[in-house]
Amino acid sequence: MTTAISFFTGAGGLDIGLEQAGFNIRLALEIDPTYCDTLRLNYPSLNVREGDIMNYTKKRVFQEANISNKNEIDLVVGGSPCQSFSTAGKRKAFSDPRGQAMLKFANLVTDMQPKAFLLENVRGLLSASLKHRPLEKRGSGYPNLTEEEIPGSALKYLLSHFPDYEVSTKLLNAADYGVPQKRERVFIIGVRKDLNKTFNFPDTTHNEKGTNGKLPWKTVNDAFKRIKNTEHDYVNYSKERFRYMQMIPKGGGNWRNLRAYGEETVKEAMGGAYRSGGGKVGYFRRLYANRPSPTLLTSPIQKSTNLGHPFEDRPLSIQEYLVIQEFPVDYQIAGKLYEQYVQVGNAVPIRLAKILGESILNIISPNPIVV
């Protein structure tokens, strides 16, 4: 079995998929103790280390993974912290400690020289700049953007840290690969140049309507079939939120459906957001049962990104989070309920991880597999 090292392991979504593809995770490094508890609950034999990637060197990685310096690592992976690149954040890029952890990942890859690496992050990485200039300080009356302020300069800088790798970057929608969730994430996959191979992202298998030889997207209903007659654990809505959520049609909808009760009801429910711009599709959102879920976030009850059950007057449960991300139905998540949502919401969908793992293995293996 081929060897892999996992950084920023989280709750294990990426690692489960990679193991299903045929990789042996020799070391799983995670800084958060609750995530580590989750990994140990489900995989007692997994070599889980609680620690900060900033404190690791090639020597320490090889030692803790129990790999000889004479041996070669096949794959290094990581779903690094995304907050420094998220469009919802301050976009500090690599001046943020979480962005620096991504550069540390790149430096360790360069030092360890695995056959391949995989790095996952949010869509915002594609447009992030090394130095973010606020929108109100751009345009007429302000200097032109510097090279470091140009959108995409952060990604260009990051990729320069992989000089020995042929790198492929792509924004993937998990729904296009059979995951019941429209989750868009950037995947950066590199293959060591001396292997003389270029990674090509696998063809999509699904689309919205099931046209052009593809299968139709999987839906929320498809996911929930895995957990019939299951007891659910979920956070409760406030009394006010609960009142308005009862007004949203069963089967799917959002704040616009409140107009059936009069515009004053909409104004009352939306508050200051009523006059703000944008589609506001996440306000009082009830998931559509016959569509994929929107991206699972770290909480299902944020005001502007609500994730309500299609038919019941409650948010999604942690059990529903798990099946939408396609974790095993008996997967155990450690910590308090709000911590469980964070862990599962941050994970890479397992099906997508497996598909990517199979494609990587097909490139680096002396005996390619058919995927």
Please give the positions annotated as active site: 82
Distances (CA, A) of 273 to 95, 223, 276, 281, 300: 32, 32, 5, 12, 19
Q: What is the pLDDT of residues 95-147, one digit of tens each?
A: 666 778 999 999 999 999 999 999 999 998 998 888 877 777 777 777 777 77
Count Cβ atoms below 10 Å from residue 33 Cβ, excluding itself.
11
Average per-residue pLDDT for the chain = 92
The percentage of residues in the chain with a pLDDT greater than 70, rounded to a whole number, is 94
Supply the DSSP symbol for 212: T
pLDDT at 338 over 70: yes
pTM for this structure? Answer: 0.92
pLDDT at residue number 371:
39
- From CA 128, how far away is CA 265, in angstroms rounded? 39
CB contact set of 188 (below 8 Å; sequence gap of 6+): 117, 118, 119, 120, 121, 158, 159, 167, 168, 169
- Six token digits for residue 43: 């995989």
Contact 66, 74 (CB under 8 A): no
Say yes or no to pLDDT of 370 above 50.
no
**Tokens linked to 4:** 């892999």
| Backbone φ/ψ region at 342: left (φ over 0), alpha (ψ -120 to 50), beta | alpha
Q: Which of 147-156, 175-184, 322-331 has the lowest mean pLDDT?
A: 147-156
Are 114 and 72 a contacting pair, CB within 8 Å?
yes
> Tens digits of per-residue pLDDT, 237-277?
999 999 999 999 999 999 999 999 999 999 999 999 999 88
Give the pLDDT of residue 368: 47
Helices (H), 184-336: 220-224, 239-245, 263-270, 318-324
Confidence of residue 85 (pLDDT cuts 50, 70, 90): low
Confidence class for position 202, pLDDT limits 50, 70, 90: very high
CA-wise closest residue to 231 among 311, 318, 306, 299: 318
Instruction: Using DSSP, state whether 78 is helix, strand or coil.
Output: strand
Q: What Cα–Cα distance (Å) separates residue 47 from each residue in 31, 57, 61?
A: 14, 17, 12
CB 336 within 8 A of CB 34: no
Give the per-residue pLDDT at 369.
43
Whether 299 has a pLDDT exceeding 70, the answer reads yes
Mean pLDDT of 34-47: 97
Tell me how far apart the alpha carbons of residues 214 and 212 are, in angstroms, rounded to a whole number: 6
User: In which band, very low, low, confident or very high, does the pLDDT at 325 lie, cut at 50, 70 and 90?
Assistant: very high
How far out from the chain centre does Cα 259 lie? 34
What are the boundaries of each domain within the chain? Answer: 2-209+348-364, 220-345
Q: Which residue has the tokens 């103790």?
A: 33
Can you tell me the mean pLDDT for 194-202? Answer: 96
- Residue 67 CB burial class (10 angstroms; 0-12, 13-18, ≥19): middle
Closest CA relative to residue 247, chosen from 270, 265, 228: 265
CA angle 304, 310, 315 (to 5 degrees): 50
CATH superfamily entry for domain 220-345: DNA Methylase, subunit A, domain 2 (3.90.120.10)
Tokens 């704040």 locate to 255
Contact assessment for residue 31 and residue 104, using Cβ atoms and an 8 Å cutoff: no
Among 333, 54, 17, smallest CA distance to 29 is for 54
CA gap 291, 216 in Å, rounded: 10
pLDDT value at 74 more than 60:
yes
State the amino acid at position 128 in one-letter form.
Answer: A
- Encoding tokens for residue 106? 């790149």
Lowest mean pLDDT among 5-19, 146-160, 279-293: 146-160
Q: Residue 6 forms beta bridges with which residues?
A: 28, 77
For the ranges 49-63, 221-235, 267-281, the lowest mean pLDDT is seen at 267-281
Going across the sheet that includes 2-7, the strands are 48-50, 23-30, 2-7, 75-79, 116-122, 184-192, 165-173
- Whether 220 and 310 have beta carbons less than 8 Å apart is answered as yes
Q: Which CATH superfamily is 2-209+348-364 part of?
A: Vaccinia Virus protein VP39 (3.40.50.150)
